[in-house]
Structure 1
Amino acid sequence: MDWNEIREKARQNMKGYCRGCKRCDGVACAGEVPGMGGTGTGNSFIENIKALDRWKVKLKTLHDVLKPDISTSFLGYKVKMPIFAAPMTGLKGNAGGYLSERDYDTMAAEACKNVGTIFMSGDANDKDMYPAGIDAIKTTSVLGIPFSKPRTVDEIIEKARIAKEAGAIAFGVDVDGAGLIMMIRSGQFVGPKSRKEIEEIVKNIELPLILKGIMTPEEAEIAAESGAKAIVVSNHGGRVLDFTEGTADVLPDIAKAVGGKIEILVDGGVRTGIDVLKMLSLGAKAVLIGRPIMIAAHGGGREAIEFYFKKVSDELYQAMILTGCKDLKNVPELYKAS
């Protein structure tokens, strides 16, 4: 199996919704929402890539690091790599409908279980999207984390109850979906969440709460103080608001503010093992990857998703050798290009 072959097959199966670009950087698909692009001009998606590119590593080979350890833990669960599957939904409108929600969730969950990492599932206006991820977690027994859109507090609590019954290890709220017009037009409430509402959610669910869509130290502090156990630094892949900062640019200040108080994940433009290492060096515990896993699914199913996870983890392993990094507690310092 070859990544270029997977990309080409995915391009064909995604019927113009994704071009399977050599580098998934948001340029060719700018503004294509629905689709795989970034909203508006596509600037936020593109900026995620540029932000990561500005951070540089130093090559080091005079050391004794021969077999780096790429394993980590999240919320007390040991995983083989710091690379998780991001919650993805809307395959018909965003990817052409070659795969159903249930097809994708099942193969992604199986792949995550097979490679020893965490699967995350999503939520959207189609009422079958959340149950599809729940069922994948239940049937595969993967380390799974479902995410709800920022619905009413009562709806969120109910979705957390369903997640708990399915065997999920945590539960997330995609808070950056607060302005999703597709949800509002379909008559489903989404909106911002106050500190009081977050505290109420934490109090009434039986799983650790993760808030996804945190882009400032101030909101990271609110999440930690309100009882959330983890955050995802994310601008929703550049799909909800144009002209935001890239996640790699805001991550260091967020990590400085709450690094000792709450576990930090990040997404946005992570494509390779060196990207993973950069995000960990900037303060994340692990990364979420979305679009490339969707591409892999369309280009070769579960086997292709596993191939991609192994490709990125091998790249991380190699990058750690070449920066003298023996484990993920000893990540290299980065410098920023001017």
Structure 2
Amino acid sequence: MDIKEVKENAKERMKGFCNLCRECDGVWCAGKVPGMGGAGTGNSFKRNYEKLKQLKVIMRTLHNVKNPQMECELFGEKLSFPGIIAPITGTKFNMGGYVSDKEYSEDIILGSKQAGTIAMIGDTGDENCYKVGLEMIKKYGKGIAIIKPRENKEIIKRIRMAEEVGALGVGIDADGAGLVTMKLFGQPVGPKNLDDLKELVNSTKLPFIVKGILTVEEVELCIEAGVHTVIISNHGGRCLNDTISSVEVLEEIVEKTGNKINILVDGSVREGVDILKYLALGAKGVLIGRPIIWGSIGGREEGVKVVLDTLKNQLYQSMILTGTENVNSVSKKILFK
């Protein structure tokens, strides 16, 4: 199975939910939430894509970089490249239902393991989605549990569940504070303050993650609370229309706070060169979302591995063609702004 076959299968199986457009720019699926699109007019999703594509790399071919080093360490694990599967749930109402949440969770845990990396499992209004993700971590190996910003007592209950199955880390996707899908299930979510974060961080010995940050000030709050990792993200443009993208704020955040906290990022990663751009802006790694959905639906665990291996190979080629020797020290000089 190759990436072409995976995408063809996924397109056939996701009719009405994802068109697998030549450019995954958020136009066709605008407003499809629940579904695969961006909130409202889809402008935040579109902006994620446009701003990342506007950032260009400079090709260099006169150098000694012939075998770039792609391995990195995140959450105490040695990974084959700095790409982690993003937390995604709700296969029936977001993806069309070709695979169940249990099957999707199985695909991402096994597929990421075979590709030499790790997956994050997610949470939604249907409590079964989180539970089956944890089951797959326990059954097959390593993973990280990301929980919706519920009341703290509910989050801590889910943290305990993650600890019991041996999760590598836990956290919240704070950018899910106003998600439509949670309202559909009558599940209360909302923003967190400094005291909330401190309570959550102190409730576990696992690395605690906050996903959905776009400002220096909020990263500093996370640092004060003792958060291990922040993920610069606007939830794929799925929760707030007309907001800024990760790529627009990442460099400033890293410059001002990057030596105090682990910084990851997500937003429209579709090719290996997209990963390289984010690394050049200072991120330690990226989260990969929609392409993993295509992998699972288009080829199950093998499809997930194919997607990850394709991105990894593209990253390798991009590093050679920009003279980048190591993913752990990517120079800003490769970027043309």
- TM-score category of the 2 structures, normalised to the smaller one: over 0.9
Measured in 1, the distance between the counterparts of 2:151 and 2:157 equals 10
The equivalent residue for 1:274 is 273
In 2 relative to 1, CA 320–272 (structure 1 residues): closer, same or farther, beyond 3 Å?
same
Measured in 1, the distance between the counterparts of 2:157 and 2:303 equals 34
**Contact residue 51 and residue 248 of structure 2 kept, 8 A:** yes
Measured in 1, the distance between the counterparts of 2:184 and 2:25 equals 30
**Contact residue 221 and residue 257 of structure 1 kept, 8 A:** no
Measured in 2, the distance between the counterparts of 1:336 and 1:61 equals 16
The equivalent residue for 2:67 is 67
Unaligned runs of 5+ in 2: none
For 1:120-139, list aligned pairs within 5 A. Answer: 120-139=120-139
The equivalent residue for 2:175 is 176
Structure 2: which amino acid aligns with 1:95? M
The equivalent residue for 1:301 is 300
Measured in 1, the distance between the counterparts of 2:105 and 2:246 equals 26
The equivalent residue for 2:8 is 8
Measured in 2, the distance between the counterparts of 1:186 and 1:32 equals 17
Q: Tell me, what secondary structure is at the counterpart of 1:128?
A: helix
For 1:117-196, list aligned pairs within 5 A. Answer: 117-142=117-142, 144-196=143-195
The equivalent residue for 1:115 is 115
1:156-179 residue CA offsets vs partner (Å, 9 max, x unmatched): 111111111101010010101111
Measured in 1, the distance between the counterparts of 2:190 and 2:98 equals 31
**Contact residue 137 and residue 167 of structure 2 kept, 8 A:** yes
Structure 1: which amino acid aligns with 2:238? R
Measured in 1, the distance between the counterparts of 2:246 and 2:79 equals 23
Find out whether 1:312 has 2:311 as its counterpart. yes
Q: Please report how far the alpha carbon of residue 146 of structure 1 lies from its aligned counterpart in structure 2 after TM superposition.
A: 0.7
Structure 1: which amino acid aligns with 2:125? N
Structure 2: which amino acid aligns with 1:77? E
Q: Tell me, what secondary structure is at the counterpart of 2:5?
A: helix
Q: CA RMSD in A?
A: 1.2
- Name the count of aligned residue pairs: 336
The equivalent residue for 1:220 is 219
The equivalent residue for 1:24 is 24
Q: Tell me, what secondary structure is at the counterpart of 1:68?
A: coil
1:75-116 residue CA offsets vs partner (Å, 9 max, x unmatched): 332111101110011110111111100000001100111111
Measured in 1, the distance between the counterparts of 2:104 and 2:83 equals 18
Measured in 1, the distance between the counterparts of 2:76 and 2:126 equals 33
Q: Tell me, what secondary structure is at the counterpart of 1:73?
A: strand
**Contact residue 33 and residue 180 of structure 2 kept, 8 A:** no
Structure 2: which amino acid aligns with 1:204? S
For 1:83-122, list aligned pairs within 5 A. Answer: 83-122=83-122
**Contact residue 277 and residue 335 of structure 2 kept, 8 A:** no
**Contact residue 214 and residue 233 of structure 1 kept, 8 A:** yes
Q: Tell me, what secondary structure is at the counterpart of 2:230?
A: strand
**Contact residue 234 and residue 267 of structure 1 kept, 8 A:** yes
Structure 2: which amino acid aligns with 1:5? E
Q: Please report how far the alpha carbon of residue 185 of structure 1 lies from its aligned counterpart in structure 2 after TM superposition.
A: 4.6
Structure 1: which amino acid aligns with 2:247? A
Measured in 1, the distance between the counterparts of 2:59 and 2:207 equals 38
Measured in 2, the distance between the counterparts of 1:293 and 1:184 equals 25
TM-score by length of 2: 0.97
Measured in 2, the distance between the counterparts of 1:28 and 1:184 equals 25
**Contact residue 81 and residue 117 of structure 2 kept, 8 A:** yes
User: Sequence identity, in percent?
Assistant: 46
Measured in 2, the distance between the counterparts of 1:106 and 1:2 equals 20
Q: Tell me, what secondary structure is at the counterpart of 2:84?
A: strand
Q: Please report how far the alpha carbon of residue 329 of structure 1 lies from its aligned counterpart in structure 2 after TM superposition.
A: 2.8
Q: Please report how far the alpha carbon of residue 23 of structure 1 lies from its aligned counterpart in structure 2 after TM superposition.
A: 2.2
Structure 1: which amino acid aligns with 2:207? P
Measured in 2, the distance between the counterparts of 1:211 and 1:217 equals 14
Q: Tell me, what secondary structure is at the counterpart of 2:319?
A: helix
Structure 1: which amino acid aligns with 2:71? S
For 1:254-273, list aligned pairs within 5 A. Answer: 254-273=253-272
The equivalent residue for 1:330 is 329
Measured in 1, the distance between the counterparts of 2:183 and 2:8 equals 36
1:247-279 residue CA offsets vs partner (Å, 9 max, x unmatched): 111111111121001111111101111000000
Q: Tell me, what secondary structure is at the counterpart of 1:313?
A: helix
Larger displacement relative to structure 2 (16-25 or 41-50): 16-25
The equivalent residue for 1:33 is 33
**Contact residue 164 and residue 206 of structure 1 kept, 8 A:** no
Measured in 2, the distance between the counterparts of 1:46 and 1:2 equals 27
Q: Please report how far the alpha carbon of residue 181 of structure 1 lies from its aligned counterpart in structure 2 after TM superposition.
A: 3.5
Structure 2: which amino acid aligns with 1:80? S
